[in-house]
Amino acid sequence: AMVEKGEYRHFMEKEIHEQPDSVQHTLSEYLDLVTGAAKTNAVDFAAVERIQIVACGTAFYAGQIGRYAFEKLAGLPCDVEIASEFRYRSPAVSKSTLAVAVSQSGETADTLASLTWCKAQGLKTAAVVNVHSSSMAREAEVLWPTHAGPEIGVASTKAFTAQVAALLALAVAAGVARGRIDAATEAELVKALFESPRLIAEALRMDGSIRAVTQDLAKADDVLFLGRGAMFPLAMEGALKLKEISYIHAEGYAAGELKHGPIALIDEATPTIALAPLDEVFEKTASNLQEVAARGGPVIMIAPEKAPDPHGAGIRRVHAPDCHPLIAPLVYAVPVQLLAYYTAVQKGTDVDQPRNLAKSVTVE
Ligand code: AGP
């Protein structure tokens, strides 16, 4: 069936707004609402010694978020690599590794080749894909579907949050299977995941405050995104989104890495966007923002209203919903996407068909 934009100006805007539903549908594949249990979905995580995720672009950042969860919740070592590097560098892999391809289309040439290579090495393979009839869905032994529905905008949004939702739920299941998560913790984490569609819907109501910020952003030549923990890959995703559709140069950095170089870029014309949920590293991120502000850099801190104000002038705040740290990458994906979207709209670019880009890169 033909997909229409309906009341929305662009497919990207529509797809951003579909995320409460697409995340909900995806989670219902991996979590049992009735029993509150995380399902293992055809993989015996107790028998897996290592996970190797391969992906490109936005799917690579989803994979990195998944890595933080697999290691933290399941004590399962996890590597994530860009498929175009993985496939040509003769990586050393061990037999008890589970190879996981992450892809919206299931057709990205480098990711598919990496998956095929892993299978030929005798590894168990799984694919987190949104197109369930795709080459990767057929190639992998285990299909871990996302249920984002057709994504038309070249800039990936709802496919990304669906990938993150699937990986977080699988990480909980892995933690249970490996004896790292007890029944009470499982119930708490599953409940947090099931709250994410509602909190994503709440985050969508940030559009007015985000739009206000993009008036300055649209004038910038360079933008820095900062985050720690799972907010670090999300910072890179934010930078990619802004580059893709607004053509503004942006970089995503781990906030703690700032002093090791990028702080040299800070001046009055270089905005810094900080993704700062109230988690165990909030204070660390806040002190990095003081350093930026002290050097005259405009700072936009996206954080819950109840988060303390970092000392130092010039820090502008945008309030995000307060949420369980596990689901922060899902909730904070929304302001990150809206920032790119409204900046691009202001610049008048072709949001759904940005220059030089294809929806899926099926040739190298
Ligand atoms: C995201 O906005 C991109 N256009 C791009 O990075 C994309 O995520 C990448 O090409 C991977 O595509 P896939 O998920 O279909 O494999």
Our mutation pick for probing the ligand 1 site, out of 11, 81, 100, 104, counting the most ligand atoms within 8 A of Cβ, is: 104
Ligand 1 atom closest to Cα of 111? 16
Q: Same domain for 188 and 227?
A: no
Distances (CA, A) of 70 to 63, 178, 249: 10, 11, 31
* The amino acid at 258: L
135, part of any domain: yes
In angstroms, how far apart are the furthest CA atoms of the chain? 57
Residues 63 and 193 in one domain: yes
Same domain? For 169 and 132 the reply is: yes
* Domain shared by 220 and 198, yes or no: no
- Residue 113 sits in the same domain as residue 156: yes
Tokens of 299: 């700072």
Domain that holds residue 132: 11-203
CATH number of the domain bearing residue 248:
3.40.50.10490
Query: Which positions of the chain have pLDDT values less than 50?
Result: none
Paired tokens of 190: 């599953």
My answer on whether 103 and 132 are in the same domain is yes
Same domain, yes or no: 272 and 287: yes
CA of 243 relative to ligand 1 center, distance in Å = 13
Tell me, yes or no, whether 269 lies in a domain: yes
Residues 169 and 242 in one domain: no
> Residue 210, exposed/middle/buried by CB under 10 A (0-12, 13-18, 19+)?
buried
Q: Give yes or no: residues 67 and 149 share one domain.
A: yes
Two structure tokens written together for 69? 């969860």
Same domain, 268 and 191: no
Does 176 share its domain with 212? no
Whether residue 338 is contained in a domain is answered as yes
The answer as to whether 355 is a domain residue is no
Domain assignment present for 356: no
Supply the pLDDT for residue 41. Answer: 82
Report CA(118)–ligand 1 centroid distance (Å): 21
DSSP letter at 140 equals S
Please state the ipTM of this predicted complex: 0.98
Nearest residue (CA) to ligand 1, atom 2? 155
**DSSP-H helix ranges across 95-229:** 109-120, 135-139, 158-177, 183-204, 207-217
In this structure, the answer to whether residues 168 and 305 fall within a common structural domain is: no
The answer to whether residue 2 is domain-embedded is no
Neighbours of 346 (CB within 10 A): 15
Domain boundary pick from 203, 221, 242: 203
Give the rounded distance of the alpha carbon of 292 from its chain centre. 25
Domain boundary among 203, 233, 250: 203
Q: Is 119 a catalytic residue?
A: no
Phi, psi dihedrals of residue 53, rounded to the nearest 5°? -95, 135
359 lies in a domain?
Answer: no
Domain endpoint, select from 147, 169, 203: 203
Is pTM beyond 0.95? Reply is yes
Per-residue pLDDT, 355: 84
The structural domain count of the chain equals: 2
Percent of the chain with pLDDT over 70: 99
| pLDDT for position 1 | 59
Pocket of ligand 1 from Cβ distances under 6 Å: 56-59, 103-105, 108, 111, 154-156, 244, 357, 360-361
> Considering only CA atoms, which of 225, 217, 315, 312 is closest in space to residue 265?
225
- 144 closest CA partner among 46, 241, 66: 66
* Cβ atoms of residues 199 and 237 within 8 Å: no
Query: Which atom of ligand 1 is least distant from the CA of 57?
Result: 6
Report yes or no on 360 lying in a domain.
no
Q: What is the pLDDT of residue 258?
A: 92
State pLDDT tens for residues 183-210: 999 999 999 999 999 999 999 999 999 9
Place of tokens 């190879």: 99
